[in-house]
Structure 1
């Protein structure tokens, strides 16, 4: 008769405690008063360029300057596909003047971007992006803003092994089970 693991199955799981916040993460908040494309400086060598490929600008020119064109705050229907013809902002990593990876802006999703050569250089998570028609047309205060978190991936953390997730008693129970066999 095969041995089962009743202790693992019948035990209630402990709540998963998220790992502590990474102290290397930096927050950038910027009002987009210079229009788009906009440069977001991270440090002396790296930055992002926020741009929106429009295709046809007639609708943007005719719109009210304070009309919101794109906002991460508006909840969307996850069953509906994204409109490929709509204005969709993109972040491009620039490292010492060289253009790196370009990704679409999706709120709350961490994305790793690489420079023109080599592995991923930074990880970015856009918290909020609000773009108005006036910002897409020209510089000015139209209420557009960007908030993001980023961290350097060049150096690893010096805080030991990753924090355990889940039930810390599982490895002990498995080792006891193996000893009994």
Structure 2
């Protein structure tokens, strides 16, 4: 945790990611129900890259809290973000030749800054609130249910232009395959 705090104090650093070289990892981000996991899996398969789901890295306590409809605090998220950063570094750090796709809410800029390694690019899935609600009601049993949506939307800081993220406007007729194709085309990936 101390290393993370030191990292976050360096907020004057230039953003890394696209524009600094080869894309080595994609982080598909957005609120619950945006399709991060589905799009992330499809992108990973298309690129032959590893897929990581941030939901799998949450502690049992964090999952229980969300299942009760309680949003996570920054204190809940820091250890999770440290684990995610370590996973990304293991997959794409030190000049590795394979890439990775991470599905992660990354709601706030400071969370994205923790995950912003050289060669990491963010893909933000933006959906209308009504579509998010419909999707969340259609997946019963998931710990991140409809009751969390308002807290996630309140916490969300959409990527600013200086972050260089790709924003995809998602409508009810957009398929996972079409979003994957749009992402690959926009980023110039095979």
- Superposed pair shares fold, TM > 0.5: no
Structure having greater relative contact order (Cα 8 Å, sep ≥ 6): 2
Q: Which has the larger radius of gyration?
A: 1
Structure ranking higher in helix proportion: 2
Structure ranking higher in strand proportion: 1
